[in-house]
Every structure is written in C-alpha cells, then in structure tokens.
Amino acid sequence: MVQVVNTIADVRRLTAAARLAGQSIGLVPTMGFLHDGHAALVKAAAAECDLVVVSIFVNPTQFGPSEDFHTYPRDLQRDVRTCQAAGAHVIFAPAVGEMYPDGFRTHVEVKGLSDLLCGASRPGHFRGVATVVAKLVGILGPDRAYFGQKDYQQTLVIRRMVADLNLPVEVVVIPTVRHPDGLAMSSRNTYLSSAERAAATVLYRTLQAARQAIAAGERDVATLERELRGLIAAEPLASLDYLAIVAPDDLSLLDQVAPTTLVALAVRIGRTRLIDNILIAVPTPETAWEAGPY
C-alpha cells in the first residue's frame, strides 16, 4: 500500500532507511491530478528503483500572478489510487508552508534556458520549477528523477541545474504520453469543453505536419513556420502563444533545419494554455536508403 507523508522529516526518515538498506530511490515530481502520463513516469521509476517517491505539490512559485494556482485541479485520493496502481511506494504531499516556511528567500535560476519559449510567456516560471526540484532532490536524495518530454524546456532547465550544481541525481526523460487522437496528456486538459477538446488536436496535427514537411525535403525554417502558423490560425478556438523551430540542446533559433530539430509550441484553446513538442531527426541519404522499399 502506498504511504502518504506530509512532512520533510517523515519522508527523510523513509528515504534514509531505504539508503541504509542499500536501496535505490526514484523521484517523480508532480503537481498532482495524475493521468496516464504521470503513471508512465511512476512505472519507469518502479522498473529501475527500489523505492519510488511521488511528490504531489502544486508549487506556487512557478505560477504567475494571473495564472491558475488556486484553481489548478487537485484530487489526492484519486492520485493515491493512480500511484498505487503504477507501483509507487511513497507519496510526499507537503503543504505550502512545509516547502516555503516563513522567511524563505533562496531561489535557483538557470539563466538563458529559462528566458525563452515558455519562459518568455511566463516570467519566473522556471525559477520556481528549478527551486522546487532542487529542494526535492535535497530533501529526498534520489538516485534518479523522472520527467516527461512534453515539458521539454523544463527537462533542459533541470539537466543544466543538476550539472551546474553537481547534484548527485540522474535525470530520466520519458516520451510524451498521448490520447488516441494525439493530444498530449495534461492535467489542464480537464479545463477544456467538448468543443475545445476537439480543437486542441490542432497542436499534434501541427507537429505532425512539421514532421511530414521535413520528411518531404523542406529545410527552410521560415517556410516551415509560415505553414505551421497557418494551421493554428485556421482553428477558430486556437490562439498561438509561440511556435519555435530550434536546436534541441539549447533552444537556439535555426535558419535551416538541423540534423535533429525541436519543434515546440504553446497554444491557448479558449482560456487554457497547452504546450507540446516533437523532436525530428532529418533523413539523410543513408537513412532514406535504409528505409526504402527494398
């Protein structure tokens, strides 16, 4: 049975006992209202680690003043069932005051990577993400921490923070889990009306159009962007926040498609902001031959 703890002292006792017993520890940081994408992270952690801790904490420092911190969906009992089924052992569900007590004034900021894409739209967001992940790593001392590719920029920020601060944790990134129609699983999907839910598939359709255009030989980024922006504009319920075709290691802008290219976008469907991305490997003459009909 998964154990729910609410204090730093209690979760540290559990992880200290695990380390004393020679067990490996996996951390799955979440904000709760778990879906199958989170379950995939937990299952990956359970396959590689002896003790799996899922943190459930709606982190106020990564929300802007006009964002949905107070209305973000929460359902701990539902999350307990999801964690139990996926193989977690411990849920760490602290209160805000436990993580940010009175007088708290230390933050972690990864400059450069935090200022682009979602960081430009949500100032301070990645400072909040980096700070809470650094705290969780410090509290739990995990061997591995698991994240989803849907939040690609977040994974880059966390990898850079871990490297720069010499944190002894392996960052493991799991492929995006999608609904049958391609929409990336997200806790915020619950905000969508039925009409908005149908419109939200435009994100995945746009990413697939990018893949198809590159496979067909398009290499000019400006041309690609015009085509992809047109697909978003054609959906009446969609409003584009950003669409970027960038280098996957540092999010730098490209003029021509690179051997591996990241296409990332954020789109508002009604009042709900959704993000998605795709990594595209450019076919070479050798791989095209290998994939040929013979």
Q: Residue 271: give its domain's CATH number.
A: 3.30.1300.10
Judgement on whether residues 9 and 102 belong to the same structural domain of the protein:
yes
Cβ-proximal residues to 114 (8 Å cutoff; 6+ apart), any chain? 125, 126, 127, 130, 157
In sign, the C-alpha dihedral spanning 35, 176, 136, 14 is positive
Judgement on whether residues 212 and 239 belong to the same structural domain of the protein:
yes
Query: In the prediction, which pLDDT does 293 show?
Result: 37
Q: Residue 68: give its domain's CATH number.
A: 3.40.50.620
User: Structurally, how many domains does the chain consist of?
Assistant: 2
Domain final residue pick, 174, 199, 224? 174
Number of other CB atoms surrounding residue 112 within 10 Å: 13
Judgement on whether residues 105 and 129 belong to the same structural domain of the protein:
yes
List residues bridging with 103 in a β-sheet: none
Residues 38, 70, 89, 179: which is the catalytic one?
Answer: 38
What sections of the chain are H helices per DSSP? 8-20, 36-48, 76-86, 96-99, 118-121, 125-140, 152-164, 194-199, 202-215, 221-233, 285-290
Number of other CB atoms surrounding residue 210 within 10 Å: 24
Judgement on whether residues 73 and 166 belong to the same structural domain of the protein:
yes
User: Within its chain, how far is the Cα of 81 from the centroid?
Assistant: 22
Judgement on whether residues 14 and 129 belong to the same structural domain of the protein:
yes
Query: In the prediction, which pLDDT does 286 show?
Result: 54
In a domain, 288, yes or no: no
Query: In the prediction, which pLDDT does 88 show?
Result: 98
pLDDT per residue as tens, the chain (294 positions): 999 999 999 999 999 999 999 999 999 999 999 999 999 999 999 999 999 999 999 999 999 998 999 999 999 999 999 999 999 999 999 999 999 999 999 999 999 999 999 999 999 999 999 999 999 999 999 999 999 999 999 999 999 999 999 999 999 999 999 999 999 999 999 999 999 999 999 999 999 999 999 999 999 999 999 999 999 999 999 999 999 999 999 999 999 999 999 999 999 999 999 999 999 999 776 544 443 333
* Encoded tokens for 206: 């746009």
Question: Is beta strand 51-56 parallel, antiparallel or unpaired with respect to 25-30?
Answer: parallel
User: Within its chain, how far is the Cα of 145 from the centroid?
Assistant: 12
Contacts of residues 4-11 at CB distance under 8 Å and 24 or more positions apart, as own/partner, are 4/76, 4/80, 4/90, 4/91, 4/93, 5/90, 5/91, 5/92, 5/93, 6/92, 6/93, 6/94, 6/95, 6/98, 7/94, 7/98, 8/94, 8/98, 8/139, 11/53, 11/90, 11/92, 11/139, 11/140
Q: How far is it, in rounded angstroms, from Cα 140 to Cα 134?
A: 10
- 3-state class (DSSP) for residue 187: helix
- 3-state class (DSSP) for residue 25: strand
Domain membership of residue 254 as a residue range: 187-282
- Is 70 noted as a catalytic residue in this protein? no
Judgement on whether residues 163 and 28 belong to the same structural domain of the protein:
yes
**First vs last Cα of the chain: how many Å apart?**
53
